[in-house]
Chains A and B, each alone.
Chain A
């Protein structure tokens, strides 16, 4: 078996240590004998259906983020990603990537910046900097990460958050929700990197990617996650 990881805007959206998610997906697939290819998809690149079996979209600086926002729209990549997610292709987006995939982002000044409309959510600029360790309860159990954002994201009705905040701010610091999950696409504010310390979530992404690609149910071989769970538990203990 083989999976292709589509790393969206790897050269522009890569400053918050989120690359660990790519490393985790890659290693956890390889340790099970699954071949992995990481494909960087950035400004100027074309994207078509089936190019990637799973997408990753990280956080970037404000300036990079506006370049990416306009490329998603003008190149048509945003539409294709949306169609791929509709047919079940998994995606993990964090911070800036998560915001860009919502309906819009409203900065302090000027008009709303339209998003890809993948997540039924919108983000408003704020003057609060929400920084710190973040612990949430989710359908994948407890998840731990680190948030660093000032945009406040609000989920529309009938959409599920990734989880509920135990410690930290989450989407907006008010309604205790964190992240958003739509089909097999996840958006959230959890740096850390997220997947290495939350191996259950990492494996869920791999499983979904393989199932959509090969059209059958897949059981992943279990791995020895002693170190990962120790790191997970020690973070929960300290910050949760």
Chain B
């Protein structure tokens, strides 16, 4: 009865918040329903046939989305939490939203639950989800004001893993020295994925990690178009083409495909399946900045790359730098809201010098505009990375910054926002008629 009341109550809140457009309705329903029935997540997730948890500093959303794509293509009915709502309340909200009430009680009819979990929330929520597979993507330093130190994150995961049943399939990034440590904390088998030759740059990179269970070889990075690689498993080699650029996305794809194969999803068609994958908002999104113009359809192409911590940002810089042409422009937006991290010190550990050293945009337009609540900090960072920046390039208001960046733009515009700046950007683009608003976006 308590569960029914909680679901009903949550659904009512969802309706209200949707009606008044208070938000995406992705957190509040769960928050209140959990107060009525704290066991809601555990009760409802039992109705889902199999559950997968994905956690780590970078790549959670893209990996979850890829896995959902692969599962749906295989004909499974998938339930997953909304982008960014990766605390218990977000999961509760999703479960409430998708449970139907009838005379017999409640029911949820799903084959697979894919749950993206915040690194800290993992410890309290993972046991409640009774997971079949857990994927640990990586641990990089991120928002020390919120998560504390890397060692603390790993230590807590370790404690949580110790109490999970040995039959749980645990999949870790074998190229990350922190996720590798988790093997010692789990009584069951831990399987590793990783990349041969290319290693992702970052303070957590592991060397001599031993044999990988799933290894990507023959990596070909094909500019902004994407990349291709061969995935070696014990039984076969999968030739994979990925429509997302950057080595970090190879890791996400590797995690998703490996997880799919642990779930016994058919993987033989994966190469074709991923070709139709489209990324989550702001994670390498290609947009047409001027949809009404018919003059020149190739003009005003924009790319949005989310940046949020030193390792992730540096990987983005490495991906875009070789593709920046003389007429292209950059718009960087740094906010210091809670969801971005209130400490902006991290920009000094992100390798902005990469853009300066590798880009071909030494001549030409070469405009850089900095925005966000900490635009001034960003301007100083860029100056010390060797860019020529002046006060006119600082435009804290994102809407004005976007206008300035688009005025007279001949090439492409690379937009690199932090998390809340990205949400703001989505809503600005929607007003300009460029992009659907996020709650209308398909999950």
A residues with CB within 8 A of B: 14-20, 23-24, 27, 61-63, 131-133, 146, 148, 191-193, 196-197, 226-228, 230-231, 234-235, 238
Chain B positions within 8 Å of A24 at CB level? 384
Chain B positions within 8 Å of A227 at CB level? 376, 379-380, 383, 389-391, 394
Among listed B157-165, B190-198, B249-257, B343-351, interface-contacting one: B343-351
Decide: A18 and B391 in contact? CB cutoff 8 A.
Answer: no
Among listed B145-153, B230-238, B406-414, interface-contacting one: B145-153
25 contacts between A and B (CB under 8 A): A14-B349, A15-B144, A15-B203, A17-B344, A17-B345, A17-B347, A18-B348, A19-B348, A20-B381, A131-B342, A131-B343, A146-B343, A148-B145, A148-B343, A191-B343, A196-B381, A196-B384, A197-B380, A226-B390, A227-B383, A228-B380, A230-B391, A231-B380, A235-B376, A238-B373
Q: How far is the CB of B78 from chain A (nearest CB, A)?
A: 37
Chain B positions within 8 Å of A131 at CB level? 145, 342-343
- Which of A17, A133, A228 is the one whose CB lies under 8 Å from B348? A17
Decide: B151 and A17 in contact? CB cutoff 8 A.
Answer: no
Chain B positions within 8 Å of A20 at CB level? 345, 347-348, 381, 384
Complex formed: what's the CA distance from A72 to B356 in Å?
Answer: 37
Complex formed: what's the CA distance from A15 to B178 in Å?
Answer: 15
- Which of B141, B151, B345, B390 is the one whose CB lies under 8 Å from A191? B345
Q: How far is the CB of A233 from chain B (nearest CB, A)?
A: 8
Given the contacts A19-B349, A226-B391, A62 and B151 also touching, CB distance less than 8 Å: yes
For window 124-166 of B, CB contacts with A under 8 Å fall at: 141, 144-145, 149-151
Decide: A61 and B149 in contact? CB cutoff 8 A.
Answer: yes
Query: Is B285 close to A, CB under 8 A?
Result: no
Q: How far is the CB of B150 from chain A (nearest CB, A)?
A: 6
Complex formed: what's the CA distance from A27 to B345 in Å?
Answer: 18
Q: How far is the CB of A138 from chain B (nearest CB, A)?
A: 19
Q: How far is the CB of A46 from chain B (nearest CB, A)?
A: 25
Complex formed: what's the CA distance from A132 to B306 in Å?
Answer: 24
Given the contacts A15-B149, A227-B383, A193 and B348 also touching, CB distance less than 8 Å: yes
Query: Is B73 close to A, CB under 8 A?
Result: no
Chain A positions within 8 Å of B383 at CB level? 227-228
Q: How far is the CB of B87 from chain A (nearest CB, A)?
A: 19
Chain A positions within 8 Å of B203 at CB level? 15
Query: Is B213 close to A, CB under 8 A?
Result: no
Most buried by A among B346, B348, B373, B381: B348
Q: Which residue of A lies closest to B346 (CB)?
A: A17
Decide: B149 and A230 in contact? CB cutoff 8 A.
Answer: no
Q: Which residue of B lies closest to A194 (CB)?
A: B345
Q: Which residue of B lies closest to A59 (CB)?
A: B144
Chain A positions within 8 Å of B391 at CB level? 226-227, 230
Chain A positions within 8 Å of B141 at CB level? 15
Chain A positions within 8 Å of B349 at CB level? 14-15, 17, 19
Q: How far is the CB of B180 from chain A (nearest CB, A)?
A: 16
- Which of A62, A196, A231 is the one whose CB lies under 8 Å from B149? A62
For window 368-422 of B, CB contacts with A under 8 Å fall at: 373, 376-377, 379-381, 383-384, 389-391, 394
Chain B positions within 8 Å of A197 at CB level? 377, 380
Chain A positions within 8 Å of B149 at CB level? 15, 61-62
Most buried by A among B377, B379, B389: B377
Chain A positions within 8 Å of B310 at CB level? 17
Q: Which residue of B lies closest to A146 (CB)?
A: B343
Complex formed: what's the CA distance from A61 to B144 in Å?
Answer: 11
Task: Give me the 4 closest cross-chain CB pairs, A-B, nearest first.
Answer: A17-B345, A20-B348, A231-B376, A61-B149
Complex formed: what's the CA distance from A238 to B391 in Å?
Answer: 19
Q: How far is the CB of A120 from chain B (nearest CB, A)?
A: 28
Complex formed: what's the CA distance from A192 to B203 in Å?
Answer: 20
- Which of A61, A132, A191, A235 is the one whose CB lies under 8 Å from B150? A61
Chain B positions within 8 Å of A148 at CB level? 144-145, 343
Complex formed: what's the CA distance from A226 to B380 in Å?
Answer: 10
Given the contacts A15-B141, A61-B149, A61-B151, A231 and B345 also touching, CB distance less than 8 Å: no
Chain B positions within 8 Å of A19 at CB level? 348-349
Most buried by A among B203, B345, B376: B345
Q: Which residue of B lies closest to A16 (CB)?
A: B345
Q: How far is the CB of B126 from chain A (nearest CB, A)?
A: 24
Chain A positions within 8 Å of B389 at CB level? 227
Q: How far is the CB of A63 from chain B (nearest CB, A)?
A: 6
Q: How far is the CB of A126 from chain B (nearest CB, A)?
A: 15
Chain A positions within 8 Å of B394 at CB level? 227, 230
Q: How far is the CB of A97 from chain B (nearest CB, A)?
A: 15
Decide: B151 and A63 in contact? CB cutoff 8 A.
Answer: yes
Chain B positions within 8 Å of A191 at CB level? 343, 345
Most buried by B among A148, A231, A234, A238: A231
Q: How far is the CB of B6 from chain A (nearest CB, A)?
A: 33
- Which of A17, A27, A63, A133 is the one whose CB lies under 8 Å from B384? A27
Decide: B342 and A133 in contact? CB cutoff 8 A.
Answer: yes
Q: How far is the CB of B156 from chain A (nearest CB, A)?
A: 14
Q: How far is the CB of A29 from chain B (nearest CB, A)?
A: 12
Decide: B377 and A17 in contact? CB cutoff 8 A.
Answer: no
Given the contacts A16-B144, A148-B145, A132 and B379 also touching, CB distance less than 8 Å: no
